[in-house]
Chain A
Amino acid sequence: MKGLFACIRKELLLLSRDLHGLALLFLMPLAFVLIMSLALQNQFSEHSGTRLKVLVVDADRSDASRAVLATMAEGNAFDFVVPTHAPASLALDEQLRRGDYAFAIEFVAGFGPALLPSDGTVVDPLIRISVAPDSNKQTETIFLTTVRAALGRERMRALLGGLGVDTQSANDGAHADIGVHYAYVGGGTQRNPSAVQQSVPAWLVFGAFFVVVPLSNTFIRERQQGTLRRLRSTNLSALTLLAGKLVPYFGINQLQVLLMLLAGSYLVPLLGGEALQINGSIALLALMAAAVSVCALGFALLIAVSSNTTEQATLLGGTGNIILAALGGIMIPKFVMPPTMQSVAQWSPMSWGLEGFLDVLLRSGTLRDVAPKAAGLILLGLTAILLAWLVQSRRTD
């Protein structure tokens, strides 16, 4: 045991003095968590974010035009700007070209009475829409649908009002017509996932796998400098030597997980993002953290014994990590991948790690949800360790 503790202490001392290694293990994933959580929060957030701006020119200034505008604004998809003075047609186009607005919507004079004409009055068109040149077709379709829906609703209200129906209660009821349900594992909360809940597990898994660089480097340096040879000439067993390397880095992985969770919970909100919500069980989180670590350590050992130089290991480990991350939905969320790539992604252990953490953090998953991913990671990690052992025993240096 004395030998094991000596190895662990030595490894931690060496790492504590390796600024590059520390930065790679702690600062790099922390930076990713902060940057991605803040940068992507609008993609995930329900109520905040940069909405496309729409310039409103209301030449009618009627209750009907104001009601349509209010209905469109309820959708929270667009930010409607009503200037004090309506711009001239040329100025409006210029503002769209400059990118000040994505769209301009103009309620023509006579919009209100023409909405439900009783005297055969025809105003064509009722609403004019101008589109910025850089607007994409998908956004344009969404905007037009929003306008048509609001217009139809206002027309319906006017019609029902004319028939003596209480349009206010009908309007209120419309909000309950559609209930949104998120298909979380375990049937948990209906809360929308925040950017931080997506980013923390993703970059946490990525960071954990980056132990491959310092761990393989320390292993190779010991081999190159003859230290391994010296240690093997003592009574330190091969298992102690191996444990002396793996135990400290396993601890470091757990510390990474803790720090990333704390950063998501406390640091991201300080910087204006949403706080990380830990919905699931802490024990399952610990299980996933341990499973990811075992897999990462196995990968690191395999790289260490297959490389002859630290440069080779850094290149192989770093590139391997980036490929696994890109495949596993760390860098590019799996849901934006085409189906073929999504099926390929399932083969990346980082994907298992990420999905396992998402099960716990986001979907209030149970052991049944998490166990297959954790077992896969542990099995792969142990296989890699075994393989590394075999490769090392065949090496003559």
Chain B
Amino acid sequence: MPARRAIQHDRRGAQSTSMNQPALIRVSQLRHRYANAAVLALDDVSLSIPQGCNFGLIGPNGAGKTTLLSILTGLQAVQFGSVAVAGMDVARDGRRIKSISALVPQDNAFYGGLTGRENLRFFADVYGLTNAQWRERLEYCTGVCSLGESLDKRVAQYSGGMKRRLNLAIGLLNAPQILYLDEPTVGIDVLSRRVIIEAIQAMRTQSTTVIYTSHYLEEVEALCDELAVIDRGRLVARDSTANLLQRGSQQSLLLSFAQVPPPSALQALQRWQPHALHAQQFELSVPQSGDLETIMQRCNAQQLPITQVQFGISRLERIYASLLQHQTGEAEAQP
């Protein structure tokens, strides 16, 4: 727990810095509809992303994250609304915007028939790097992504983790000011995930703005200074990670029991709406800290041995789930 606190403390420090930065990306009232689609893929999305921050974009599948990334990277045209990147309009200055950004797609977007070095060389040429830049960036990218030993092997022989690292390394080749990472750690081993996360953290020292999408919320929580939650094309929440976690933590009590509590025991705690996380672990909504003593007394009365109590610490996963539940409830309530 102290370690987690420390991470959060650091992040909050970084957060306050990034909040003071000017907005690098401004999205205004963005709407997008695919051909023949009944619903909007993006519905009135407005947000700004400060320069130099790690920005998390989260939401369920089909929420509109990839569409938003596609518009930001110039892959999709802006239909309604406006998008400005580094003060430039994406519709007018697409080429200049592309030259300062890079996309690391969700898939391993390179050539299995080429070696790692040949892949990197190809994309370096596509980015238009000079020979000197190529040598310098090759050294940096392969170092930060731990690819050195495997550079001259055909990529088809790489492990899943190595492929992911190469995917990222290609995205770093042109030293982008803005790096779009679309689920960069899907399906890889712990070691490779750590390498990728460290590489992303290293971006911070280079003032690179990272736009990061992932379903691994622990990663997002640890990496991102700011977050946007998007669902069914609408922006559900947009805040600093620290604020979001604080917002959720104020009412959260996590109780772990030594055994599975009987229904009668849970009935005694009904007032705090116990929500089962596991068979022996429950989250209670506690608006007033004074209730804590009452809860403990009731547990004792029900002879429920408690093994762990956590209060005021929340996880992004829970906040995210509650945001989406709230959004679903609102949508269902509409006629």
Contacts and interface: CB of A to CB of B under 8 A. Distances in A.
Interface of A: 2-3, 5-7, 9-10, 13-14, 17-18, 224-227, 229-236, 394, 396
B157 to A, nearest CB: 13
A235 B128 contact: yes
Contacts of A229: 75, 103, 105, 109
Given A14-B114, A226-B107, A233 B102 contact: yes
Contact of A18 (B99, B110, B113, B122): B113
Contacts of A227: 109-111
Given A3-B128, A6-B122, A6-B125, A232 B75 contact: yes
B109 A230 contact: yes
A231 B111 CA distance: 12
A13 B113 contact: yes
B120 to A, nearest CB: 11
A13 B126 contact: no
Contacts of A10: 111, 114, 118, 122
Interface of B: 34-35, 73-75, 95, 98-99, 101-111, 113-114, 118, 121-123, 125-128, 154, 170, 180
25 contacts: A2-B125, A3-B125, A3-B128, A6-B121, A7-B126, A10-B122, A14-B111, A14-B113, A17-B113, A227-B111, A229-B75, A229-B103, A230-B104, A230-B110, A230-B170, A231-B126, A232-B75, A233-B98, A233-B180, A234-B98, A234-B123, A234-B127, A235-B95, A396-B34, A396-B35
A2 B121 CA distance: 11
B105 A13 contact: no
Given A17-B154, A18-B113, A230-B123, 8 more contacts: A5-B125, A10-B114, A226-B106, A226-B108, A226-B109, A232-B74, A233-B98, A235-B99
A13 B103 contact: no
A79 B55 CA distance: 89
Contacts of B113: 13-14, 17-18
A231 B74 CA distance: 11
Nearest to A17: B113
B180 to A, nearest CB: 8
A224 B102 CA distance: 19
Nearest to B124: A6
B103 A235 contact: no
A225 B107 contact: yes
Interface centre among B111, B123, B128, B180 (most CB of A within 10 A): B111
